[in-house]
């Protein structure tokens, strides 16, 4: 039986480990604290269509391919663990001014031309769908097929599934890939990946989020994921069983300290979308480091005959989990996945003999 080492215990690494073990590989995950990084701080949106934009066909194509795979991926995880990770179906992107409204019409037209369902909503239709949203909202874009998941429930379920499948965990950092004895290595170390493969163009981008809990008597949260732009800053509200996740700031920084300015902006922007948010309990403010590539596409594929990259997913690590797992397992079987062609890391990094 062949062996594989997975470097990194976030949603990507845990998913690869679980599925590889189910496929017959002997798998070891190397991570000092699995599930504690960016995956623990994520919003859990599966929303590639709402972020579509003309000229970004490859980004849309990969995201849509993963969204299509997510129900089967989640159902397999539920079969192994009994855990349902979904929290909402459909997402609603809203516009507060004329410029944002024009952008939503552009997205709807272009994404629709790519064969995906999108629907423009009037102010009255938004009010019918989500009556608690703010009065300044003038237009909406509904993506009926987009989903969201509880990222923390997902991480915990993946850890359970991996253990049940026989995955071994080593709770230490890897300093050199050449020291590993396994036949194959999957590099899924997020923003730390570049330290293990010099020249890999993955950088950390800091993002802060808030987790809010509904207090007794407070206005119920929206039932859909709600996204918008406030003063040029992207904002989103993602439902959870007990409240909302509010995100997310974005800084070119490599620390995970939560700033006062970040919390202030998140609350102010969220209140524009959902005025009743002031009634909620602020349970947590946290920050994570998104592993980001230069062209907003991840790096999935061979770095050498032995090493496979699965990193650089930026803000879309949870969304792209399903297609990334399929692509990595295809590489392990020496049969590359066509949908991941444009994510090949060799577009940046020459293949090594390591």
Write the pLDDT tens digit of every residue in 91-103. Answer: 999 999 999 999 9
Domains of the chain, residue spans: 90-146+204-292
Distances in Å between the Cα of 217 and the Cα atoms of 244, 276, 280, 281, 311 are 16, 11, 10, 12, 43
Task: State the pTM of this model.
Answer: 0.96
Per-residue confidence band for 353, with pLDDT thresholds at 50, 70 and 90: low
pLDDT of 235 above 80: yes
Residue labelled with tokens 């989020």: 209
**Three-class DSSP category at 252:** coil
**Three-class DSSP category at 188:** coil
- Determine how β-strand 168-170 pairs with β-strand 26-30: parallel
Whole-angstrom distance, CA of residue 166 vs CA of residue 169: 10
Cis peptide before 248 (omega within 30 of 0): yes
Confirm if 34 and 140 have CB atoms less than 8 A apart. Answer: no
Alpha helices in the chain (DSSP H): 11-22, 38-41, 57-81, 98-113, 123-129, 151-164, 193-196, 260-273, 321-332
Per-residue pLDDT at 200: 95
Residue 230: beta bridge partners? 233
Higher pLDDT, 5 or 352: 5
pLDDT of 349 above 90: no
pLDDT of 195 above 80: yes
pLDDT of 351 above 80: no
Burial 35-49 (b: 16+ CB within 10 A, else e): bebbbbbbbbbbbbb
Per-residue pLDDT at 331: 97
**CATH class of domain segment(s) 90-146+204-292:** alpha beta
Confirm if 236 and 210 have CB atoms less than 8 A apart. Answer: no
pLDDT of 254 above 60: yes
Per-residue pLDDT at 204: 96
Per-residue pLDDT at 352: 60
| Closest to 11 measured CA to CA, from 38, 31, 45, 32 | 38
Cis peptide before 178 (omega within 30 of 0): no
- Model confidence over 29-86: pLDDT tens digits? 999 999 999 999 999 999 999 999 999 999 999 999 999 999 999 999 999 999 999 9
Q: What's the mean pLDDT in 121-146? A: 97
**Three-class DSSP category at 317:** coil
Per-residue confidence band for 231, with pLDDT thresholds at 50, 70 and 90: confident
Whole-angstrom distance, CA of residue 204 vs CA of residue 97: 32
Residue 93: beta bridge partners? 141, 227
pLDDT of 1 above 60: no
- Determine how β-strand 139-149 pairs with β-strand 168-170: unpaired
Mean pLDDT, all residues of the chain:
96
Helices (H) and strands (E) in the chain, counts: 9, 15
Straight-line distance from the first to the last Cα atom of the chain, in angstroms, rounded to the nearest whole number:
22
Q: What's the mean pLDDT in 280-293? A: 97
């Amino acid at each position: 039986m062949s062996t594989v080492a997975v470097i990194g215990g976030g949603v990507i690494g845990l998913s690869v480990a679980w599925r590889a073990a189910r496929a017959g590989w002997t798998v070891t995950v190397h991570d000092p604290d699995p599930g504690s990084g960016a995956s623990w701080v994520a919003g859990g949106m599966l929303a590639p269509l709402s972020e579509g934009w003309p000229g970004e066909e490859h980004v849309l194509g990969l995201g849509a391919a993963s969204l299509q795979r997510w129900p089967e991926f989640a159902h397999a995880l539920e079969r192994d663990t009994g855990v349902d990770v979904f929290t909402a179906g459909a997402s609603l992107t809203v516009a507060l001014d004329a410029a944002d409204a024009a952008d939503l019409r552009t997205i709807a037209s272009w994404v629709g031309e790519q064969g995906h369902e999108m629907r423009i909503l009037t102010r009255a239709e938004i009010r019918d769908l989500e009556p608690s949203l703010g009065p300044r909202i003038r237009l909406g874009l509904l993506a009926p097929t987009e989903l969201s998941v509880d990222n923390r429930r997902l991480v915990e379920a993946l850890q359970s599934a991996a253990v049940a499948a026989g995955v071994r965990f080593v709770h230490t950092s890897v300093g050199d890939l050449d020291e590993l004895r396994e036949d194959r290595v999957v590099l899924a170390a997020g923003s730390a990946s570049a330290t293990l493969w010099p020249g890999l163009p993955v950088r950390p981008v800091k993002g802060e989020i808030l987790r809010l809990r509904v207090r007794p008597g407070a206005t119920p949260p929206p039932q859909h994921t709600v996204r918008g732009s406030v003063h040029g800053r992207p904002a989103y509200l993602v439902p959870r069983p007990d409240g909302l996740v509010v995100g997310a700031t974005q800084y070119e920084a490599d620390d995970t300290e939560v700033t006062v300015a970040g919390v202030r902006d998140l609350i102010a922007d969220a209140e524009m979308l959902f005025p009743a948010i002031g009634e909620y309990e602020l349970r947590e403010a946290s920050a994570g480091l998104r592993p980001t590539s230069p062209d907003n596409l991840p790096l999935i594929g061979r770095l050498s005959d032995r090493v496979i990259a699965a990193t650089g997913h930026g803000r879309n690590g949870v969304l792209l989990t399903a297609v990334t797992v399929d692509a990595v397992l295809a590489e392990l079987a020496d049969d590359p996945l066509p949908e991941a062609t444009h994510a090949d890391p060799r577009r940046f990094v020459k293949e090594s003999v390591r």
